[in-house]
Amino acid sequence: MGCPKRFTVSFLAFLGFLILFGFRTVITIIMIYVIKDNDNNRATIYKECTINGTVFDLHLDWSVATSQYFNTAYFVGHFISQLPGGILAARFSPTKLFGGVVFISGGCFWVLAFLMKYSPVVVFVTRFIQGLVEGVSQPAMSSVISAWAPKSERTRIVGFSFSGIYLSTTVASVITGATTCYVSWNSGFLIYGSLGIVWSLFWLCTIYDSPTLHPSLEEKESRIFEEEGSHVQIASAAVARNVPWKRIFSSPSVWVLFLLNFTRAWIVATMMTEIPQYFADVFRLNVASIGFLTAFPPVLMTISIIFSGIFFDKLIKTEKVSVTFGRKLAISIGFGSEAVAVLVLGFVRSYSVACVLLIIGEGMAGIATPSYKANPVDLAPQYSSVLMGLVRLGLFGAITSTALAGALRRKNAESWKHILVITGSMHLFAVICFAVFGSGREQEWANSGYNEIKIPEEENISPYGSTSETQQFKTDVIGINYSKDSNSQNDSVHFNYSEQLQSTIKE
């Protein structure tokens, strides 16, 4: 229908994350309902659940601590697969990896819908498997975005694609809260499991790894990628073999991004998996009310993510700010405000005030999110999936968050004050560190490993960003001519080094 293909990729990525991260909220809401230990019927927005006492109802003699450890199992699996996921996305098709993740995780929800009631072991193992496969999702998507986002549109495309993560809480809270009360206890599992499977099949059939591989890319859009594309090579064994690990691990910009990811994972895990339990413990709300109240904050966050991406792209494109200053400014304002809001939330004793704070905090966090998610692509477009996988080892923060909640939570306001004050303080510290040491510049090592790539003759590797038979790939310091010789059946890759680069290599 004439829609630019890069916008189609971004929109489907948004839907994929909307479903994938909705899985977390779905199981949290269902656990609040089915575990008898929860006392959450004092206040309500909806009328009393109509499935109470019917064959569609389920109550289990599990403790709330048990449900916290289900979350921990998920985040352990999520943590383990981050770096391997980044390497896999450099070696194999990142689009197929992302689609496969949603398909498998959706299938796991169908397993829970029918087998969860028999044993907590089923839930524990299934959640670990979901965490393990879902850990591949963001590194894989970073590689997809690196290919499909022109430099002048990078922040907005990254922001919109990943905004599905944050809106997922709203959609999943409303759907699961209502259907759990009015349809059946496992309706959320069945709905989201089905959505995940259907979406993944559509994604796998329509999305390609790069503009050069798309069979119907229009000439106008092709020129955009030739002029502003990241010009990174398609995932292959050669790319995966030549990751400059030593330079990555010695980069201060990577380490400060890792710290920010650690505390970001901590606070996001708190918002997605702990805040519903916070409302149940502190304010004694029922499951439908919790689903309704937790739906509002991510809406404002999603809106601010989209507009922040457009705003900062414009500032950077018009050279009013540098990429580095733009990233620091967005992250300081957005994540700094959210950290303060979470700190204050620990002292609140009114659920309406708590909701206002959550709306403000998450809404402001949306300002920072596009810049935060785009930073691995800023630092190293060629290795963005690997870098994303590496810094997202900071997901250990999510494991810490759920374990801390499980240990400190006592079904009272005082215990939640400790949890929220610790969470807000840690995140504020990381924001300050990024403001001092963070960067938005492409790092020197991002291309250094590229010069040393040894490509076996049998490997056919093409760069992103051009659709003509004779293709030119240019960077600031290195030119690579990728061409098909008219007198030969073999493709060839020629490296032309500038004098400046030759001098640097000799040094």
Query: What is the pLDDT at residue 289?
Result: 67
The DSSP result for 300-319, as a single string, is HHHHHHHHHHHHHHHHHHTT
Q: What is the pTM of this model?
A: 0.69
Task: Please list the helix, strand and coil fractions of the chain in percent, rounded to the nearest 5, in that order.
Answer: 70, 5, 25
Longest dimension (CA), the chain: 81
Cα angle: 373, vertex 376, 382; to 5 degrees: 135
CA-CA-CA-CA torsion sign (303, 304, 309, 311): positive
Query: What is the pLDDT at residue 461?
Result: 43
CA-nearest of 497, 472, 499 to 483 is 472
Query: What is the pLDDT at residue 63?
Result: 74
Whole-Å CA distances, 90 to 72, 103, 387, 447:
28, 21, 10, 15
User: What is the H or E stretch that residue 494 is in?
Assistant: strand 491-497
Q: Which two tokens mark 289? A: 């009310």
Q: Is 425 exposed, middle or buried (0-12, 13-18, 19+ CB in 10 A)?
A: middle
Q: For residues 479 and 483, give the distance between their C-alpha atoms in angstroms, rounded to a whole number.
A: 13
User: What is the H or E stretch that residue 495 is in?
Assistant: strand 491-497
CA-nearest of 371, 370, 7, 357 to 163 is 370
The DSSP result for 473-487, as a single string, is EE-SSEEEEEEE-TT
Q: Where are the alpha helices (DSSP H) in 381-497?
A: 384-391, 396-408, 413-437, 445-451
User: What is the H or E stretch that residue 454 is in?
Assistant: none
SS (H, E, C) 21-60: CHHHHHHHHHHHHHECCCCCCCECCCCCCCCCCCCCCCCE
Q: Using N-to-C axis directions, what is the helix angle for 22-34 and 64-80, rounded to 10°?
A: 160
User: What residue ranges of the chain have pLDDT lower than 50?
Assistant: 1, 40-45, 448-507
Q: Using N-to-C axis directions, what is the helix angle for 187-206 and 154-182, rounded to 10°?
A: 150
* Contact by Cβ (8 Å): 232, 449: no
The distance from CA 403 to its chain's CA centroid, rounded to whole angstroms, is 21
8-state DSSP, 151: G
Question: What is the phi/psi pair of residue 480, to 5°?
Answer: -125, 120
Q: Is 479 left (phi over 0), alpha (psi -120 to 50) or beta?
A: beta
Q: Is 497 left (phi over 0), alpha (psi -120 to 50) or beta?
A: beta
